[in-house]
Amino acid sequence: EKDPKLKDAKVLFVVGGPGSGKGTQCAKIVEKYGFCHLSSGDLLREEVASGSERGKKLNEIMEKGELVSLDDVLGLLRDAMEKKMADTKCFLIDGYPRELEQGKRFEDELVDCIGVLYFDVSDETMTNRLLERGKTSGRVDDNEETIKKRLDTFHNQTKPVIEHYSAKDKVCKITAEGGVDDIFEEVKKYMDSKTW
Measured from the CB atom, is 8 or 172 closer to ligand B4P?
172
Q: Are 22 and 95 in contact (CB under 8 A)?
A: yes
H or E element in which residue 94 lies: strand 90-94
Per CB under 6 A, does 21 bind ligand B4P? yes
Q: What is the separation of C-alpha 162 from the centre of its chain, rounded to a whole number of angstroms?
A: 12
Footprint (CB under 6 A) of ligand B4P, residues 54-73: 61-62, 65-68, 73
The dihedral built from the CA positions of residue 7, 74, 105 and 192, taken in this order, carries a sign that is: positive
Measured from the CB atom, is 128 or 166 closer to ligand B4P?
128
Per CB under 6 A, does 22 bind ligand B4P? yes
For the chain, state the CA radius of gyration.
Answer: 16
Per CB under 6 A, does 20 bind ligand B4P? yes
For 99, list phi and psi in degrees, rounded to 5. -150, 155
Per CB under 6 A, does 133 bind ligand B4P? yes
Q: How many CA atoms lie within 13 A of 140 on its CB side?
A: 15
Query: Looking at 11, 15, 36, 44, which residue binds ligand B4P (CB under 6 A)?
Result: 44
Question: Helices 22-33 and 180-192 sit at what angle, rounded to 10 degrees?
Answer: 50
Binding mask 157-176 for ligand B4P (x = CB under 6 A): --------------------
Q: Among 4-12, 29-37, 94-102, 166-174, which window interacts with ligand B4P (CB under 6 A)?
A: 94-102
CB-closest chain residue to ligand B4P: 41
- HEC readout, 108-149: HHCCCEEEEEEEECCHHHHHHHHHHHHHHHCCCCCCHHHHHH
Measured from the CB atom, is 23 or 85 closer to ligand B4P?
23
Query: Looking at 15, 18, 91, 92, which residue binds ligand B4P (CB under 6 A)?
Result: 18
SS3 43: helix
Query: Looking at 40, 47, 117, 172, which residue binds ligand B4P (CB under 6 A)?
Result: 40
Residues that bind ligand B4P (CB under 6 A): 18-24, 39-41, 44, 61-62, 65-68, 73, 95-96, 98, 102, 129, 133, 141, 150, 179-180, 183
